[in-house]
Amino acid sequence: MSVEKKGFFKGLMDKLSGAEAPTASGESQPAPPPGETKPGFFERLKQGLSKTHESLIGRIDTLVLGKKEIDADTLEELEEILITADIGVQTTVELIRTLEQRMKRKELQDGDALKAALKEEILARLSRHAAPLDTDTASPYVIMVIGVNGVGKTTTIGKLASRFTTAGKKVLLVAGDTFRAAAAEQLEIWGKRADADVVRHQEGADPSAVVFDGCRAAVARKSDILIIDTAGRLHTKVNLMEEMKKVRRVLGREIPGAPHETLLVLDAATGQNAISQTRLFKEAAEVSGLVLTKLDGTAKGGIIVAVSNEFDLPVRYIGVGEGVDDLREFEPTQFVEALFQ
């Protein structure tokens, strides 16, 4: 048996025994010591959002400390806090206007009332577009995954594949990022871990040709889900748009209605850059859902509110760690509770 196979079966045994899955770099996270249980996802979410909590809620607590009434000056200071916490200018303006109306109706009597109102308004905006991904509406259900290099795109694909195969789905991955060195190899490693086949060509091949072969293979093998990795180059807007359009044409020609979902992966730590990335990719590739990665360890998690609200897009998944089970379906209520606690 090859070393590669041994590594795969070791990973499988680790999964079955409850140990953490390997990370994208190939390193494994240790299982909890005997007698200790791994914290639940909500606790890990709170831990992951701790820096964002401090940059937003901690500063709001300081702002309203000792205030017996909320006035226009308080809201002006709150506006600055929201903007610097990466809630975004457009979303911040909306929030402040709504809070001003509440203040005029005498609903904001003190700091606790202000925080409660802000929490309600943020939750309302995140819930407005919230919708889980329904992969049972087509077979194969085609997911095109896009995003700039470095956001965790290929790792996200691997984690999604693992979620789907664990749920009993037959998954096929397509290595459409033929320009980044070792991108296909990285996807193959994740494919082995997730028990998903991978279609790839040599480095530098035409992405549309790989996608074409992937579509044919998915239909022939009766795959339930087809996930397409794409290049994250942003040389020029024109190049990006043309490449994405070509891939989409191939998908639509080979599998009616495809892609059924176009997921944009964003690194939460980039803050306001996520807004410009979303604007560009939405124009180029008809983005239908978002994945926010690396929420753990960043103070810029507020960007999730800005991007979803400004572009009317649902957040499908969030990532708060390296483990496979640290990529979860986004639940607005859970997220807001973790942020404000």
Closest CA to 311 of 261, 270, 277, 267: 277
List Cα–Cα distances, 245 to 136, 238, 262, 284, in angstroms.
25, 11, 12, 7
Percent of the chain scoring above 70 in pLDDT: 87
Give the mean pLDDT of the chain.
Answer: 87
**Phi and psi for 299 in degrees, rounded to 5?**
-95, 5
The full DSSP string for 294-336 is --TT-S-TTHHHHHHHHHT--EEEEE-SSSGGGEEE--HHHHH
Report pLDDT for 70: 92
**Phi and psi for 229 in degrees, rounded to 5?**
-85, 145
Checking if the pLDDT of 235 tops 70, the result is: no
Q: How would residue 236 be classed by pLDDT, with cut points 50, 70 and 90?
A: low
- In whole angstroms, give the CA distance from residue 80 to residue 72: 13
CA atoms within 13 A on the CB side of 173: 33
Report pLDDT for 25: 38
pTM for this model (two decimals):
0.86
Checking if the pLDDT of 10 tops 60, the result is: no
Identify the H or E element spanning 81.
helix 72-84
The full DSSP string for 249-301 is HHHHHHSTT--SEEEEEEEGGGTTHHHHHHHHHHHHH---EEEEE--TT-S-T
Closest CA to 305 of 146, 152, 90: 90
Report pLDDT for 39: 72
Residues 206-224 have a mean pLDDT of 96
Q: Are 315 and 125 in contact (CB under 8 A)?
A: no
For residue range 48-103, list pLDDT tens digits in order.
Answer: 899 999 999 999 999 998 887 899 999 999 999 999 999 999 999 999 999 999 99
Identify the H or E element spanning 194.
helix 183-194
